Structure 1
């Protein structure tokens, strides 16, 4: 059972209706694919998770499957709880597939197309670009694959659902990525003399990433972000090295991560060693991952750190774009 939550605001629905009545094009952006992000039992609280990665499985209603977006594991949607046997299975959260289903219900006579990583290879943006550009598709739905590089002359309304989703990720670059996506998707409209509109739904409407992204104010966002980076000593004011160990057992991952952390601290005076901590995705494909983050004002010192890295079980990323 999908929880009946109306995730389109009245202003967004009004804008969609107005545009469609004029035979104009609408783009709905949401950076999460699937139908629902959480499947659980309403009776006992059991939650469907990947047995290999320990993350929630995502519902894909069109294939009637629950899938792991990390390792690809999939299973049928349960009709009853595997623990208490209760039949009250509910699905929560919003994905592009659920948005597509809702828009098809609201606008059954309009041509709707969804673009994300689940899109068939014969129905990608490249394959259907002429339809998009000529306005043959009334409503476009998608993740970041539709945010950049598209010139759509018939597009007059862009709606962004849960624009602040990425801000909750524990990474110093999360605000920057949120700003980039918003600035890019806003850039899909306003390229012609036709009046255009952008409607953004957010729980944090005053967050600088949201306000600057909407106004495409690169200068203000840069000045604020670069000041924060300097105060917290993150790139470009320092260099980063992310070290990740991969072991079959959690105990081995923790033990070896601690061992390397102590080794680095005792051999280097001018570096900062953070961790070890569980990786953002601690368990992936039946393995456990712990990580260490190293900061240094000199890139060469991070290269020297690699000489202490064991030859097996360890991965490294110099100048990582993300710490997740």
Structure 2
């Protein structure tokens, strides 16, 4: 393309723009650079822009264009919050689909409208334990519990694909008393079918849309009115137009809120606001019932009131106090290997050398902070043990100089095939 006039990035906040393996880059940022080189305008569009993008608009680096109203001046959906702590002591479906949500679903279906239920966790149960010894059912290759998939009669790892049959015995004590705990979209689907046996229920997640064209077919079924209740993960939140959906039920809004990641609040707000925006897009007004264990959390409150600026002001204050982006630049070193001891030793060696290099030069010690090295929250994936180190810099050029000098030290062996060291500039996932 030689005559580019505009580069448009829709849903610019979407983490899918960041390539996390191989050549790591952010397609959104590359689009901005490409537009600049071509003398073109770059448009970053989103109803829930990333904190970084909104900050750039606030300081005048970007121009902000606001659409203050929905199309045809349709009202924003009414959002109500249900405190899931009230379900303590309840049994059966009421612990997952609360009585207010159940009533609202019945009323919506009686009106001939459609319902969307959102839960960002696929499978039937995300955690299973042996009732005899209490040991969780773990993946053989990752430090993660297996997710039970009832439709496939198997326990599966969502990171490496390892699976074990439903009829397995405990790997520790040999007992066959395995109990599936927690919830996933499969369980929500089963409960919904029990509560509304005459409703046409479909589930939209990675398990049901793996075949080519399946997403397009399911979206057409929703638009044609062939589905009464749609249950889905974040796939259903990505800009789809469902004019006849007038109720969105968010089963549990807290799943991503407590991740060990400084962007956890941002991602949670974006996800909740985006899924809430799937309702009320037709002639009938929409409503949202948001179920949560943390109703007072500022992210939940801002999502309830659909108030992006209030969320941004709290979030940007937090980022500033801890010197996280956009007030600093980040580089993440990801150290991984199949030998646990060697991986740990290499991580500590890189960390010790990095701290020494930082202290040796004033330009580094005055602007750079090193966090770690520390074992990654997911300490092993696909048989590889994982450590990480976060390097913060107040000036991007100095930060990159520091990382280049560190990587050039021969004894650290950044190019070693046995113990891999990946350099991730502007990392998006801290797991």
Of 161, 170, 180 in structure 2, the residue corresponding to residue 81 of structure 1 is 170
Of 119, 129, 132 in structure 2, the residue corresponding to residue 30 of structure 1 is 119
Deviations 1:164-199 (A, max 9, x none): 111111111000000000000111112234132111
CA distance in 2, matches of 1:181, 1:319: 21
How far did 1:265 drift?
Answer: 1.5
Conserved in 1, the CA contact under 8 Å of 2:244 and 2:282?
Answer: no
How far did 1:152 drift?
Answer: 0.7
CA distance in 2, matches of 1:52, 1:114: 29
Residue 311 in 1 paired to residue 409 in 2?
no
CA distance in 2, matches of 1:295, 1:51: 34
1:1-324 pair list within 5 angstroms: 4=92, 6-78=95-167, 80-119=169-208, 120-122=210-212, 124-268=214-358, 269=365, 270-304=367-401, 305-309=403-407, 310-312=414-416, 313-324=420-431
Conserved in 2, the CA contact under 8 Å of 1:276 and 1:291?
Answer: yes
How far did 1:44 drift?
Answer: 1.3
Conserved in 2, the CA contact under 8 Å of 1:58 and 1:68?
Answer: yes
Conserved in 2, the CA contact under 8 Å of 1:29 and 1:142?
Answer: yes
How far did 1:129 drift?
Answer: 2.0
How far did 1:80 drift?
Answer: 4.0
How far did 1:140 drift?
Answer: 0.5
| Aligned partner of residue 167 in structure 1, secondary structure | coil
Runs of 4+ in 1 over 6 A off after TM superposition: none
Conserved in 2, the CA contact under 8 Å of 1:19 and 1:157?
Answer: yes
After TM superposition, the score normalised by the length of structure 1 is 0.95
Pairwise CA RMSD: 1.6
Q: Which moved more, 1:252-261 or 1:59-68?
A: 252-261
Q: Which moved more, 1:118-127 or 1:84-93?
A: 118-127
| Aligned partner of residue 97 in structure 2, secondary structure | coil
Select the structure of larger CA radius of gyration.
2
How far did 1:238 drift?
Answer: 0.2
Deviations 1:226-258 (A, max 9, x none): 111101110000000110111111111111111
Conserved in 2, the CA contact under 8 Å of 1:157 and 1:196?
Answer: yes
How far did 1:101 drift?
Answer: 1.0
Question: Against the structure 1 CA distance between its residues 306 and 108, is the aligned structure 2 distance closer, same or farther, given a 3 Å change threshold?
Answer: farther
How far did 1:277 drift?
Answer: 0.6
Conserved in 2, the CA contact under 8 Å of 1:134 and 1:154?
Answer: no
Q: Which moved more, 1:102-111 or 1:160-169?
A: 102-111
How far did 1:122 drift?
Answer: 4.8
Conserved in 2, the CA contact under 8 Å of 1:28 and 1:142?
Answer: yes
How far did 1:82 drift?
Answer: 4.0
How far did 1:134 drift?
Answer: 2.2
Q: Which runs of 5+ in 1 are unaligned?
A: none
CA distance in 2, matches of 1:26, 1:125: 18
Conserved in 2, the CA contact under 8 Å of 1:115 and 1:124?
Answer: no
After TM superposition, the score normalised by the length of structure 2 is 0.72
Question: Against the structure 1 CA distance between its residues 122 and 112, is the aligned structure 2 distance closer, same or farther, given a 3 Å change threshold?
Answer: farther
Conserved in 2, the CA contact under 8 Å of 1:230 and 1:237?
Answer: yes
Conserved in 1, the CA contact under 8 Å of 2:332 and 2:424?
Answer: yes
